[in-house]
C-alpha cells in the first residue's frame, strides 16, 4: 500500500491498496482494470477525527466502484473494526489496511466495470 496526505492534512489520507489476495476474483478484476484504464489499485480515503486514536477513522472506497466486499452504496466500508464498539486505540493503521484488504476479498468484492465513476463521494459514504 501507499499513503498520501490530502492537501497536506494529517487528518485526511488517501491510501492506495496495491495488493489483494492473488487467488481472488478481485485481484483478477484489478488486472483487467489495469489493462482497460491503467489503474491496478483500490483507492481508499481515511478521515481522522481530532480524538484519534480513541475513535476509529472513517474509511471509504474512492475508486474503483466495487460491489460486495462490505462496501456500501456510497463507498463506505462496513466493518465492526471501524465502529466505536469494535475499535481499539491499540490498532495500527497498517493492521487496519491489511484487515480491509482481507475483508474485501472475504466479502467477494468485485470491480463494477462501466459503473458511474462519480457514484462514490464523502457525503454519500457518510450517509450510507
**Among 52, 72, 64, 68, CA closest to 117:** 64
Give the residue numbers annotated as catalytic, written as ranges: 78
Question: Can you give the residue ranges of every domain in the chain?
Answer: 2-127
Answer yes or no: is pLDDT of 83 > 90.
yes
Spell out the SS3 assignment of the chain. Answer: CEEEEECCEEEEEEEEECCCCCCCHHHHHHHHHHHHHCCCCEEEEEECCCCCCCCCCEEEEEECCEECCCECCCCEECCHHHCCCCCCCCCCHHHHHHHHHHHHHHCCCEECCCCCCCCCCHHHHHHC
pLDDT in tens, 30-69: 999 999 999 999 999 999 999 999 999 999 999 999 999 9
2-127: in CATH 3.10.110.10: yes
| Residue 44: predicted pLDDT | 98
pTM attached to this predicted model = 0.94
Amino acid at each position: 500500500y501507499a499513503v498520501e496526505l490530502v492537501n497536506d492534512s494529517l487528518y485526511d489520507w488517501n491510501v492506495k491498496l496495491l495488493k489483494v489476495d492473488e487467488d481472488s476474483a478481485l485481484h483478477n478484476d484489478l488486472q483487467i482494470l489495469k489493462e482497460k484504464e491503467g489503474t491496478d489499485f483500490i483507492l481508499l480515503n481515511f478521515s481522522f477525527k481530532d480524538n484519534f486514536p480513541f475513535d476509529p477513522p472513517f474509511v471509504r472506497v474512492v475508486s474503483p466502484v466495487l460491489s460486495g466486499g462490505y462496501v456500501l452504496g456510497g463507498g463506505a466500508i462496513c466493518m465492526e473494526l471501524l465502529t466505536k464498539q469494535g475499535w481499539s486505540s491499540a490498532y495500527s493503521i497498517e493492521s487496519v489496511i491489511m484487515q480491509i484488504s482481507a475483508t474485501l476479498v472475504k466479502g467477494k468484492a468485485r470491480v463494477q466495470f462501466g459503473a458511474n465513476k462519480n457514484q462514490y463521494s464523502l457525503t454519500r459514504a457518510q450517509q450510507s
